[in-house]
Amino acid sequence: MELYKENQLKIYNSLTKQKEFFKPVHEGHVGMYVCGPTVYSNAHLGNIRTFMFFDVVYRYLLHLGYKVRYVRNITDAGHLENDADEGEDRISKKARLEQIEPMEVVQRYTVDFHNVLKKYNFLPPSIEPTATGHIVEQIEMIKQIIGKGLAYEVNGSVYFDVIAYNEKNKYGILSGRNIEDAIHNTRALDGQSDKKNPQDFALWKKADEKHIMRWSSPWSDGFPGWHLECSVMSTKYLGEQFDIHGGGMDLKFPHHECEIAQSKTCSGVDPVNYWMHTNMLLLNSQKMAKSTGNFILPEQILTGENTILNKAFSASVVRFFNMQASYRSVLDFSSDALLAAEKGYHKLMEAITILSNITPSKSSSFSVNDWEKKCYDAMNDDFNTPILIAHLFEGVKYIHQLKENKELLTKEDLTLFQKTINTFVFDVLGLLDDSEEDNSEKLTGVIDLLIELRKEARENRDWAMSDKIRDQLAAIGIELKDGREGTSYTIK
């Protein structure tokens, strides 16, 4: 029997502002859409936090036995510099500044994004569609919205009529914003704007002469509005109504609010059953953001090439750090926090190694089933990773007691204990055991030291010591090779 049938998952729904029992649209299947990156620059760690959490959601749903279609888009066109439908497309701007093609910008940062996620042990999504690959579908959705009487064209641009939509629907249903208050508090538009109302948003923008990225449409040569692509791609791959839509809390308004309005206009139904939003990652107690320069790149953490941390940290330590707080909580990033996470991570890995060498007994002195249930209960409670980690460390305590013969487990219970802790640590949280990598680095350091000592012996004409180092390394399978550029080695 699939695990989801015996585990009742609850999800905090941003739409209803409460935890709800999860019931998918189709039994045994989950459709999940997460807003992906705009590929005009490197994703910083604050961006990655969101994707990392939904990687855990994806992993847990798969573990429960659901067939999951996970869609995460790539925004490679149409993202203006602000939410007022003004300014310049960020990708076009980058291309113009660097004097390269926009698709070169897109390719460069898409590849970088994928490389980062691979290093941090992310599972790839089921589908990763791009905005530029769905221009035709976006034009068709605009036609539908115009046909419903909720969009209008002015001077080659098309805008969604928020006031007209709000007459029969609730614009602001997700964010809790009141459209009447927004109208009252908004200054009148100046004569240069094409919009009827300040709240209206672009579905299609006419490109000016300098705009590089443009496509033909019934209204003008231009480009789609930022919000449109997600409505189009989520609908195409997950249907008019699907289970989970995720993203950072900064996307709740206006992006996700606009998605709801667009999709509901076309289908007549609420597009998403469970909206999920991750909270901010702070650096120096301030929001991590490229615009303020207050950020760190995931790659810089791995290499240690930054001015924020005292040393480099592994990808698994960063994952472990992120999972120590609820996704709905603000998380403060610092060197001290990572050092503490590193200690906890190594304790966990050490305990798992110890557990693999425990000898079973004829009886059990504690209930593995009860402990296992607590782990599932934590994840079933809105993917509560910090509580799960607390239970995993309860397991670490049991492991040390087993090692000291203060606790006992039968062969059957020991197998269940090993299986459960491995499942949650490696399969669900997505951690890797970096201890082998650490040992490899230590071995390299030792060999380099011995090569240096042998070099000094040779310079001092101490041939006996030189030969001893070479021969004893060879005896354990490490062969030294002397050449013009120095001494290298191979491990057999």
Per-residue pLDDT tens over the stretch 55-102: 999 999 999 999 999 999 999 986 665 555 666 678 888 888 888 888
Given a contact cutoff of 8 angstroms between Cβ atoms, the answer to whether 372 and 420 are in contact is yes
Lowest mean pLDDT among 75-89, 113-127, 199-213, 347-361: 75-89
Given a contact cutoff of 8 angstroms between Cβ atoms, the answer to whether 219 and 204 are in contact is yes
Of 428, 459, 474, the position where a domain reaches its end is 428
Average pLDDT, the chain: 92
Lowest mean pLDDT among 2-6, 248-252, 360-364, 439-443: 439-443
Given a contact cutoff of 8 angstroms between Cβ atoms, the answer to whether 196 and 152 are in contact is yes
Does residue 189 register a pLDDT over 50? Answer: no
- In the numeric block, the tokens 């990708």 are attached to 91
242-257 average pLDDT score: 96
Residue 422, C-beta contacts closer than 8 angstroms, at least 6 positions apart? 352
Q: Which spans in 2-89 are helix H? A: 45-63
- Report the residue count for the chain: 492
pLDDT of residue 184: 45
Whether residues 419 and 444 share a domain: the answer is no
Q: What is the CATH number of the domain that holds 49?
A: 3.40.50.620
pLDDT 10s digits, 129-182: 999 999 999 999 999 999 999 999 999 999 999 999 999 999 999 999 988 665
Whether residues 267 and 349 share a domain: the answer is no
Q: What is the CATH number of the domain that holds 388?
A: 1.10.730.10
pLDDT of residue 430: 98
Whether residues 465 and 452 share a domain: the answer is yes
Res. 191 pLDDT band, cuts 50 70 90: very low
324-348 average pLDDT score: 96
More confident site: 189 or 357: 357
Q: Across-strand partners of 468?
A: none
Of 278, 299, 327, the position where a domain reaches its end is 278
93-120 average pLDDT score: 92
Residue 160, C-beta contacts closer than 8 angstroms, at least 6 positions apart? 145, 150, 151, 200, 201, 202, 203, 258, 261, 262
Res. 483 pLDDT band, cuts 50 70 90: confident
Res. 437 pLDDT band, cuts 50 70 90: low
Whether residues 240 and 123 share a domain: the answer is yes
Phi-psi region of 11 (alpha: psi -120 to 50; beta: other; left: phi over 0): beta
Whether residues 90 and 234 share a domain: the answer is yes
Q: How many domains does the chain have?
A: 3
Whether residues 296 and 354 share a domain: the answer is yes
pLDDT of residue 190: 44
Whether residues 287 and 258 share a domain: the answer is no
pLDDT of residue 472: 85
Whether residues 130 and 35 share a domain: the answer is yes
Whether residues 293 and 273 share a domain: the answer is no
Whether residues 237 and 104 share a domain: the answer is yes
Q: What range does the domain containing 202 cover?
A: 3-278
Does residue 201 register a pLDDT over 50? Answer: yes
pLDDT of residue 80: 66
Select from 218, 224, 214 the least CA-distant residue to 262: 224
Whether residues 142 and 266 share a domain: the answer is yes
| Positive/negative CA dihedral, 449, 452, 457, 463 | positive
276-304 average pLDDT score: 92
Res. 211 pLDDT band, cuts 50 70 90: confident
User: How many Å is the maximal CA-CA distance in the chain?
Assistant: 93
- The torsion angles phi and psi of 477, rounded to 5 degrees, stand at 90, 15
Of 428, 457, 478, the position where a domain reaches its end is 428
Whether residues 137 and 256 share a domain: the answer is yes
